[in-house]
Amino acid sequence: MKLFGSAILLFMPAMGLSAQGIRDSVELEPVVVTASHTPKTLKDAPVVTRLITLHDIKIVDATNIQDMLTQEIPGLEFGFAMTQETSLNMSGFGGNAVLFLLDGERLSGETMDNTDYSRLNLDNVGRIEIVKGASSALYGSNAVGGVVNIISRENLEPWTANANTRYNTFGNEWRNGASFSFNTEKWNSQTSFQHTKIDPVDLPKAHTSEEIAIELMKKAQGLPYDESVLSDDSNISRLFGQKTYNIKERLTFRATDRLTLIGRGGYFFRTSERDTYDYHFHAYSGGLKGRFAWDAGRHLELSYAYDQYDKANFLPDGTRTHDHDYSNQQHVAHALYSHSFGKNNLILGVDYMHDHLTTYQFLDNASHAQDNIDGYAQFDWNITDRLNVVGSIRYDYFSASARKAFTERLAVVYKIPWMTLRVNYASGFRAPTLKEMYMHFDMGNMGYMIIGNPDLEPEKSHNFNLAIERTNRIRNSGFLDGRYNFTLMGYCNIFDKRITTIEGPEYNGMESALYWNDEGITVWGIDASLGHIWDCGASFKLNYSWMKETGNVYYSDFYQPRSHSLTWRIGYEHRFSRLYALDAALSGRCQGKPQSGRTDVDQGYTIWKLMLQHHLWRGIRLNTAIDNLFNYKPKSYYYSSPLTTGTSFNIGLSVDLDQLL
Amino acid sequence: MKFKSFMTMSMVAVALVFGMSSCGDDDKDEPEAPVANQVVGSYTGTEVLTVMGEADESTETFEFTKATDVSVDVTLPKYGESMMTVPALPVKGITLTKSGNTITGKLDKYEGTVISADGSEKAYTVSDVTVIFNDKTVVMTFTQKYGNMPFAFEGVFTGAKK
């Protein structure tokens, strides 16, 4: 912490600085949509919303959502699930209890209960909104621990074109991308392409296999030996190499002043080079949306979205094995009507989703499908200029299980001159997936069955939170003159009927695990954030999260939540001349020790990152970064270790061709 | 350091034995048998397979066979019971080097396929292999990945020659 304090002091005297990303979130003027399904300024959002701005995305130079959130959100950690697929833990909730949306649309498929986060690259992303806690009354299943909504950018210049490349020494990673957009009176098009490639990374072990063998030989011969060499707690020795290709297109047609049509499409491919097989992942997405506005106060949205996610295994010689084929397709139709009555607003919505899954994990590679129908209503009642009440109710029905779920939310915002008070109750649920209902899988052909349970009930949560927020300007105080924002939120999330596996019945002489609704947990937490922009231009933000689980808590190698975590960023931006401007940020994250009390792995860690973005002539940017500035190395690698082998370096080049030509 | 001392003493002892014998008037220098010939055979002992921190110990026999004069093959014994079985996995081409009384075998990675208990062909890899032979004792460390099993087995074998 002394180091952190010193770093702040070092950056404070920066002259003529600004940091647009921090400024946006401190001044609370940007518009957000996730908390209420309707555009509201950040300061008026009924639930505390964490905003990651376009500037944040650019300065962090993150490749995908995982890189971005890791650096920005405390209480959030990405680790590994089985098969070394990425797994999320956010304030006590796993990846299947946090809903990721792309422009408000769900993504199909999962990898070990998690979205394939590498699909969510940040090319052409304008902002990311994060609402922690339950939001099922608006978004349905999976919005239990939070919603992360990734919102595309819509360039308004006549045309833009960008080409970019970046090299990272960690795994010799290359990222190459290109984007193009045009904008006319009627048409707006955004196209982006990204390719990434990372080599396998051998994680250093505390001792080589030869050193271990030598000590073993001494032990076998009755000679003195070093026991510490024989006890290495690493579970992972190699990160697999992978390549991704991601192409997206979004086309908007403003047919009339009242009618707007949006079409979108995307293709994603990832190959992960494993020890025995190569895993191939494909995703196809497309959608159409129409928005008709009768007037400023009334509009109707109709949309259809398709998303497909496939997995298959290939032998090193390129032969597809077909023993691990997986395909998930989702069709979603959606209608939303919004009607404003003066300052008040009513939203009525209905959705239909058809979910179809074929997987090797079902008996005889069978397919299963389910329909989900829901209807919801929300009333946004501005009782006075200071008092706002937002109430939502929703009903969901799932055909395969014949289960239904009612969810509701009541959010109250009260503004008093010196602060804003938010009180919120929201319920959440997660419907059992087709996999959890119908799985019939001999895990790894080892004779250990995992059996689905069609009688599973939805997981259910009740989320209460109370937040205070203050935004103000300090004048005539000398050193502190500037604008600041402070938010403190306490929450309690009661999570019940958690779906997990228990020891199942013997199946054809084999042991089994059975999906089951288990007793739940209660998650208690506090989130605090502080941002300050000095009049001289310096700025910084600090986010802290504390979390504690009680009840039926269990830990595993894959689940090691930490009670305390912290992220921070100090920004610096200055134009030195017409030909050169510097945008700099020093950020860090600190994770506390595992809540489980586990002591055989690192008790906590701090990682710093220095990012320098050099704006050169006519839209040419040189991005450099030093990650893990102080060369932190885990003492052993397990599923919740940070993905680092020490300090790494980035260098990248981005060219805005429209400015160059 | 103790190991180095032991090695030094061993080398001195070996040198003395060979030195003494070479002084004999009637003795002739006989070429040393290839290193592979010196280590082939059956070794019985304890195999410990660790997966996700859980260790499973069993008594096994590892059969080392000659591949070339300077390399050996070995078959990792099958693991598990009935349908819950990883079949025996051949590992070929462990390169041997000799230093004093100690013969060390190394292999970065071996990739193969094998027929599983249900009759299907499965790919596997055995990597990071180190084998040390000293006198009648062998120790072997390796990492084993079988089929689509999500986890690797970390294996350790300590055995004695029959």
Q: How far is B84 from chain A (nearest CA, A)?
A: 4
Mean pLDDT along residues B6-24: 43
Question: What mean pLDDT comes out for the span A646-654?
Answer: 95
Confidence of residue B81 (pLDDT cuts 50, 70, 90): low
What is the predicted pLDDT for the residue at A445? 63
Q: Which residues does chain A have within 8 Å of residue B52's beta carbon, measured at their own beta carbons?
A: 235, 557
Give the list of residues 6+ apart from residue A319 with CB closer than 8 angstroms, or none. Answer: none
CA distances from A130 to A114, A147, A427 (A): 17, 6, 17
CB atoms near residue A614 (< 10 Å): 15
**pLDDT at residue A280 is higher than 70:** yes
* Cα–Cα nearest to A341, from A401, A272, A410, A295: A295
- Cα(A638)–Cα(A640) distance, integer angstroms: 6
With vertex at residue A420, the alpha carbon angle to CA A417 and CA A424, rounded to the nearest 5 degrees, is 150
Provide the pLDDT for residue B152.
Answer: 78
Instruction: Tell me the pLDDT tens digit for each residue of A201-249.
Output: 988 877 888 888 899 899 888 889 988 787 666 778 788 899 999 999 9
Give the per-residue pLDDT at A233: 66
A22-69 pLDDT, tens digit per residue, is 555 555 578 888 988 888 988 889 999 999 988 889 888 888 899 899
Helix axes A209-220, B2-23, angle to 10 degrees: 70
Instruction: Quickly state the pLDDT bin for A661 (edges 50, 70, 90).
Output: confident
Residue B46 C-beta-side C-alpha neighbours within 13 Å: 9
Report pLDDT for A2: 42
How far, CA to CA in Å, does A256 sit from each of A39, A260, A293, A297, A444?
21, 7, 10, 17, 56
| pLDDT reported for residue B84 | 61
Give the pLDDT confidence score for residue A24 in this predicted structure.
54
- Which one, of A34, A147, A145, A129, lies nearest residue A97 by Cα? A145
Residue A309 has pLDDT above 60, yes or no: yes
Whether B85 sits inside 8 A of A315 (CB atoms) is no
Find the mean pLDDT for residues B78-95: 82
Phi, psi dihedral angles at A142 (to 5 degrees): 80, -15
pLDDT at residue B150 in the model: 66
Give the model's pLDDT for residue A300. 97
Facing residue for A218 by CB, picked from B3, B106, B156: B3
Query: CB-CB: which of B2, B156, B158 is closest to A223?
Result: B2
- List chain B residues with CB under 8 Å of A84: 150
Is B16 in a helix, a strand, or coil? helix
Weakest-pLDDT range from A270-279, A430-439, B143-152: B143-152
pLDDT computed for residue B16 by the predictor = 40
- With an 8 Å Cβ cutoff, the interface of chain A facing chain B consists of 82-84, 208-210, 212-214, 216-221, 223-224, 233, 235, 237, 275-277, 313, 315-316, 323-324, 442-448, 508-511, 557
pLDDT at A14 over 70: no
Average pLDDT over residues A600-606: 82
Looking at residue A259, its pLDDT comes to: 97
Residue A591 neighbours by CB distance under 10 Å: 25
User: Does this complex have an ipTM over 0.85?
Assistant: no
The per-residue pLDDT for A185 is 92
* Least Cα separation, residue B52 to chain A (angstroms): 6
- Measuring CA to CA, how many Å separate A559 from each of A13, A66, A464, A640? 42, 17, 24, 7
Of A337, A409, A272, A660, nearest in space to B148 by CA? A272
Q: Is the pLDDT of residue A647 over 50?
A: yes
pLDDT mean over A311-329: 88
Is residue A166 scored above 90 in pLDDT? yes
Region for residue A364 given its phi and psi (left: phi exceeds 0; alpha: psi -120 to 50; beta: otherwise): left
Which of A214, A276, A444 is closest, CB to CB, to B125?
A276
Residue of B2, B104, B123 with shortest CB distance to A276: B123
Return the residue of B nearest to A233 by Cα. Answer: B53
CB atoms within 10 A of CB A187: 11
Whether B142 and B158 have beta carbons less than 8 Å apart is answered as no
What's the average model confidence in pLDDT over A131-148?
93
Q: What is the pLDDT of residue A58?
A: 87
**Residue B142: its chain A contacts at CB < 8 A?**
209
For the beta carbon of residue A543, count every other beta carbon within 10 angstroms: 21
Q: What is the rounded average pLDDT of the residues A6-31?
A: 48
| Among candidates B130, B149, B152 on the partner chain, residue whose Cβ is nearest the Cβ of A446 | B149
* Per-residue buried b or exposed e for A96-112, using 16+ beta carbons within 10 Å of the residue's own CB: bbbbbbbbbbbbbbbbb
* pLDDT category of residue A9 using cuts at 50, 70 and 90: very low
**Between A184 and B53, the higher pLDDT residue:** A184
